[in-house]
Amino acid sequence: MGDRLVIPKLARRARLRRVVWVIVFLGAAAGVAYYLFPESVTGETYRTAAVTRRTIVRLVEATGHLDVRRRVEVPAPIPGRLVEILAAPRSTVRRGELLARLDDRAAALAVKGAQATVQAAAGRVAEARAALDAAAEERGRVERLVGRGLASQQELSSARAAVQRAEAALQAARAEQAAASGGVASAQLGRNLGDIVAPADGVVLVAPERLGAAVGPERGALFVIGEALDVMRIDATVGEADIGEIRPGQATRFEVQAFPGRSFDATVDRIGLEPQREGGLVMYPVTLHAQNSDGSLLPGMTAAVHFEVARHRDVLAVREAALRFAPEDAPPAPARSRIWRRMSRSRLEPVPVRVGISDGAYTEVEPTQGQLAVGDRIAIGLSRPGGSSERSPGITLGKR
């Protein structure tokens, strides 16, 4: 019969005590961890943000483009070829200043031709006058003969008809002479139109560059002149939901991509009445004016315009996300009518609020029941180790 290993009762009791102490130690450690780090133990933690007091500014955003206040297009008044260009883009011009010249040789020939036509017409007038004088003299002679009985009434009638025909021919010659004189004036005007001048003071925005180019009225603007760049115009569009908050004389600010971090002042000049449709949205044109004393702003730049329509100072404010957050088992309520104040690890308390203006990040709130103080932690979402959510399943709601 082999030997058998026998464990005394005392040894079994000692080992049992050690197991019990290990269990007690682990339980105590778990309790301490739960007390010190309850959110880590549960695996859930609410994202919260404090109630603050701040100034909230409500802005209406719009996009526009810069341009000169007024622009004048100057086409070539007559067909021709450019022989001289005297103004370049960005140059300043005065009204009546010469911008360019067209080849006037054809116009000069037209003037000479018109003058020759006038001279020919004058010769025909003189010829018609001489014919009239001769017809009148013949009529007088026939009348004297009729008085002495030496000529018939038929001869007298023929003489009188000849005078009438001569008078009509003289009138026609004079009309032809007047038309020829008008042709001279027209040809001279055409010659003068070969000098293209500025119709107003301003800055040259567009100018031709190639001498000898064929130009004409049908080829579009040859020069474009804008008003001085010390004041610029902004053409923006504002949606129908916000246009009621825009008014003439309203001060605004805007930025352009060419100068990051720099903003410029502008003033609303007028609001257009004719709506524009952009992708199914109804937009209204708004024109603004901006000072440009240093010449930084240029026509065509894109402007991000900010219309300040409301400013509330020293108001209670919460993050915009707080008005969107709601627990899963929360009773229904109108949108943006309450926020959830954190009372403990697993307890949220609803606070009914009245919402004011928002700047997109923070929103003005006023409690309609109970109190709301600066520093109160307001739930804006629920984070989990594996992700985050703004919905929180299975939390305990505080009663009010």
Nearest to 355 by CA among 379, 378, 339: 339
Provide the terminal-to-terminal Cα distance of the chain, rounded to the nearest Å.
80
Q: How many residues does the chain have?
A: 400
Higher-confidence residue of 285 and 117: namely 285
Domain chopping of the chain, boundaries = 9-37, 39-56+314-397, 60-69+226-311, 74-99+197-225, 105-193
Cα angle 335, 338, 343; round to 5: 145
Residue 317 has pLDDT above 90, yes or no: yes
Q: What is the DSSP string of 185-224?
A: HHHHHHHHTTEEE-SSSEEEEE----TT-EE-GGG-EEEE
Candidate ranges 176-180, 186-190, 212-216, 256-260; pick with highest mean pLDDT:
256-260
Type of residue numbered 204: V
Query: Are the C-beta atoms of residues 376 and 49 closer than 8 Å to each other?
Result: no
Phi, psi of 268 (to 5 degrees): -70, 125
Q: What is the pLDDT of residue 26?
A: 63
Output the pLDDT for position 180.
80
Q: Is the dihedral of CA 192, 194, 195, 201 positive or negative?
A: positive
Confidence of residue 213 (pLDDT cuts 50, 70, 90): confident
Report the pLDDT averaged over residues 263-284: 94
Q: Is the pLDDT of residue 228 over 80?
A: yes
Each residue's pLDDT tens digit, 360-393: 999 999 999 888 999 999 999 887 654 444 444 4
pLDDT at position 116 is 85
Decide the pairing of beta strands 231-239 and 52-68: antiparallel
pLDDT in tens, 28-39: 655 544 444 444
Looking at residue 32, its pLDDT comes to 47
Q: Higher pLDDT residue, 356 or 150? A: 356
Burial of 340 (0-12, 13-18, 19+ CB in 10 A): buried
Neighbouring residues of 170: CB distance < 8 A, sequence distance ≥ 6: 125, 128, 129, 131, 132
Predicted local confidence at residue 33, as pLDDT: 46
pLDDT per residue over 60-107, tens digit each? 999 999 999 999 999 988 888 898 999 999 999 999 999 998 887 767
pLDDT at residue number 9:
54
Q: State the pLDDT at residue 14.
A: 62
Q: Domain 74-99+197-225 adopts which CATH fold?
A: OB fold (Dihydrolipoamide Acetyltransferase, E2P) (2.40.50)
Residue 84 · residue 211 · CB < 8 Å: yes
| Cα-trace Rg, the chain | 48
pLDDT at 41: 40
Contact 53, 374 (CB under 8 A): yes
Task: Give strand pairing partners of 256.
Answer: 303
Task: Name 153's Cβ contacts closer than 8 Å, sequence gap at least 6.
Answer: 146
d(CA 324, CA 107): 77
Residue 66 near residue 256, CB atoms below 8 Å: yes
Whether the per-residue pLDDT at 396 is higher than 80: the answer is no
Query: What's the chain's average pLDDT?
Result: 84
Give the Cα-Cα-Cα angle 157, 163, 164 (nearest 5 degrees): 90
Let me know: does 318 contact 378? Beta carbons within 8 Å. Answer: yes
Residue 35 identity:
Y
CA distance 329 to 391: 10
pLDDT at 204: 95
Stretch 210-224: mean pLDDT = 88
Is the pLDDT reported for residue 17 higher than 80? no
68-77, 113-122, 293-302: which range is least confident on average? 113-122
How is domain 60-69+226-311 classified at the architecture level of CATH? Beta Barrel (2.40)
Residues 351 and 340 sit within 8 Å (Cβ to Cβ): yes
Whose tokens are 């957050």? That residue is: 325
Which uninterrupted H or E stretch holds 62? strand 52-68
Distance CA 37, CA 220 (A): 78
Q: Does domain 39-56+314-397 have CATH number 2.40.420.20?
A: yes
